[in-house]
Amino acid sequence: MIGFCGICDSELESLAYYSTDREWLISARCKKEHLALIRYDKEWNWQEDLHLEFIKEDIRVADLDREMLNSVFTPAEIRDMIACQQGKPYTRQNIYRARGKYQKFEKLFGIKIEI
């Protein structure tokens, strides 16, 4: 346990340590799967917490909680986001409409969808 999640306040557990020339970087994950990167200097003085947005690009809509999705997206949008990620036929219009809601979804749940 190395701190608290900046999104949901639950405990962060460290996943990996990286050493660079100037600092230590520790990746961590909370119970709700939010990811963070914590920077320390070489003397282990805390510098800052960063959210790992880039790792979230791998998020698969099919794996997300359906109630979370339903609170923002319509069933047709959810179906086509999943189809698009799985390389199956989808309606372009539904993806466009869903894109307009990604920010709202990220604000509510701290999860960034990129399709």
Q: Is 35 in the site for Zn ion (CB under 5 A)?
A: no
Question: Is residue 26 a contact point for Zn ion (CB under 5 A)?
Answer: no
Q: Measure Cα distances from 112 to 1, 22, 41, 44, 47 in Å.
A: 25, 30, 29, 30, 25
Please pick, from the candidates 2, 11, 17, 32, the single residue that binds Zn ion as defined by CB under 5 A.
Answer: 32
Of 25-33, 37-45, 61-69, 77-85, which part binds Zn ion (CB under 5 A)? 25-33
Which of residues 16 and 87 has its CB atom nearest to Zn ion in the complex? Answer: 16
34 touches Zn ion by CB under 5 A: yes
Kindly write down the DSSP assignment for every residue of 15-72, as one continuous string: EEEEE-SSEEEEEEEETT--EEEEEEETT--EEEEEE-HHHHTT--GGGS-HHHHHTT
Per CB under 5 A, residues contacting Zn ion are 5, 7-8, 30, 32, 34
